Structure 1
């Protein structure tokens, strides 16, 4: 699957104009910290080592998204679709996953601390997923 590389500026501009489908894009190393991207479709996208700290991703479609070593500290993924999302090596400290749909794919090495799971359970941690 070939992904289309776009810039953070292009993404934010298109999102502000009402576009939500950003499936199959490549945004490795992107700094989207604090961005409000509620309802965005990042299915099959690649955001390796992206900074999504404090980002609002409520209701986002993250199915089959590659978030390898991404920083999701303090991100809000409430009601997001996380089916088969790769979070290997990612930081989920203070991340809200309440009501998220599905289960992650690869998750080995993911850091959890005060992480709220989809069922509301809080992983106080700190701990790493070793799977």
Structure 2
């Protein structure tokens, strides 16, 4: 019965995580995989490439150096999360919340930042080359102006 349940879960739940790197907690990775939420977790250095984390609750989570490239984080709540040096290249970040998050040194190249909330977030030395930035207060070299659409790198 337990094997059947595990097999059913493997078929129903999308593949969210792979093996952790650095300090990521295996228990926290499993919690994220099973529940789609992991607030205040340690996922530092985790390989979450191509994950489906739509609407995930990741408030206060340590994602330092994590690989979230090609992931779908639409509507995810990363309020207060630490994403220092994280790889978010080609990620889908529509309506994601990064309020008061730390994104210093993060790679957002090629990402879709549509109406992404970055209020009070630390955005030092981020890479947004070829990112699609719409309705998101991120600018290069000056204050944000109310752009209808801005595509960086084209």
TM-score, normalisation: structure 1? 0.74
Contact 2:29–2:43 (CA<8 Å) still a contact in 1?
no
Please show how residues 67-82 of structure 1 align to structure 2 within 5 Å: 67-82=78-93
Name the one with the larger helix percent.
2
- What is the distance in 2 between the residues matched to 1:53 and 1:28? 14
Aligned to 1:92: 103
Q: Which has the higher contact order (CA 8 A, sep 6+)?
A: 1
Moved over 3 A (4+): none
- What is the distance in 2 between the residues matched to 1:87 and 1:66? 7
Structure 2 residues without counterparts, runs of 5 or longer: 1-26, 132-138, 145-154
Q: Deviations over 1:97-123 (max 9, x none)?
A: 000023243221000111111526xx7
Aligned to 1:10: 30
Aligned to 2:66: 55
Structure 1 residues without counterparts, runs of 5 or longer: 1-6, 15-21
Bigger radius of gyration: 2
Contact 2:106–2:126 (CA<8 Å) still a contact in 1?
yes
Pairs aligned (count): 112
Secondary structure of 1:102's aligned partner = strand
Q: Deviations over 1:21-76 (max 9, x none)?
A: x7x72200010000111000110110000000000001000000000010000000
- What is the distance in 1 between the residues matched to 2:127 and 2:115? 14
CA RMSD of aligned residues (A): 2.8
Name the one with the larger strand percent.
1
